[in-house]
Amino acid sequence: MHEITPAHPVALILGSGFKRLAGLVKPVQRVSYEQIVGNTHAPEALAGLEATVGTVDGKAAIVYPARLHLHKGFTAFEVSSLVRHAHAKGCRIAIFVGACGAVAGEEGLGVVSDHINLTGTTPLTGWQREGDSFVPMNDVYDARLRKIACEVAKNNGMDLPEGVYAEVCGPNLETPAEVRALGLLGANYVGMSLSLEAIMAHALGMKVLAFSLATNQAGASYVSHRYVRAEATSAAKDLETVVRGVLARL
């Protein structure tokens, strides 16, 4: 099996509560989200957001500190804007980080092995792709990168279970019946991002690694966006250890 050697920068695409990771990059250039996405139905959601081009521990990287979501008014194609920008800038590995709810299993940090797209849409609709427009989805989440992540976690005394991520539109959280249905579908995690971005990254030929931080049990009555952000922030140190360890082995 060939080695994963990033002659290109690595894209780090971050979700809510992961400012600590965004702070790891030594900046060379900043690019506004308005410039990346262009004209959109939700310009206010982009205000003040910037991608940072630079290095993380000496590795060339582009860090995107916030994700785009359907429930903010973006189209599926717009949601994939950060991925397409990263690819155009030379990134061939995309590392996603996001908070989610635990459907089956314990709360904590995990790595995504597959996804279930329940949004009812895809960023590939109408996209002009060279060659066959039908993109296989058998191996979206790179097995070699997942193995590296699990080894790094183990070497640092952490468990990093693999699981299936279900994406829903939001912004409402899941009902108890929906959580039971997600469990029957085989989902371990549920959230409002990832699958649309991963589909585009895979279609562009990028290697994908996705970390899921289950901050709560899905459908729990105590959950709020503030709670999720606080839990994500508290787990940032462990996540930073794993991400930096993965980057060191690329």
In what helix (H) or strand (E) does residue 54 lie, and over which residues does it extend? Answer: strand 50-56
Question: ∠ CA 240-191-77 to the nearest 5 degrees?
Answer: 95
Range of the domain at 229: 10-124+160-248
pLDDT at 2: 45
pLDDT at 221: 72
Question: Is residue 190 a part of any domain in this protein?
Answer: yes
pLDDT at 5: 56
Question: Is residue 2 a part of any domain in this protein?
Answer: no
pLDDT at 236: 74
Question: Is residue 172 a part of any domain in this protein?
Answer: yes
Question: Is residue 15 a part of any domain in this protein?
Answer: yes
pTM: 0.93
Is 151 catalytic? The answer is no
Provide CB contacts within 8 A for 157, sequence distance 6+. Answer: none
Query: 174, 178, 231, 240: which one is catalytic?
Result: 174
Question: Is residue 50 a part of any domain in this protein?
Answer: yes
- Render each residue's pLDDT in the chain as its tens digit; 250 residues: 345 656 689 999 998 778 888 899 999 999 999 999 998 888 999 999 999 999 999 999 999 999 999 999 999 999 999 999 999 999 999 999 998 999 987 788 999 999 999 999 999 987 777 666 788 999 999 999 999 999 999 999 999 999 999 999 999 989 999 999 999 999 999 999 999 999 999 999 999 999 999 888 887 777 776 766 666 666 778 889 999 999 999 9
CA distance 194 to 141: 11
Question: Is residue 147 a part of any domain in this protein?
Answer: no
In what helix (H) or strand (E) does residue 185 lie, and over which residues does it extend? Answer: helix 176-185
pLDDT at 232: 64
Report CA torsion sign: 5, 143, 196, 243.
negative
CATH number (domain holding residue 52): 3.40.50.1580
CA distance 192 to 195: 9
pLDDT at 90: 95
pLDDT at 235: 72
Question: Is residue 220 a part of any domain in this protein?
Answer: yes
Number of domains in the chain: 1
Radius of gyration of the chain (CA): 17
Question: Is residue 155 a part of any domain in this protein?
Answer: no
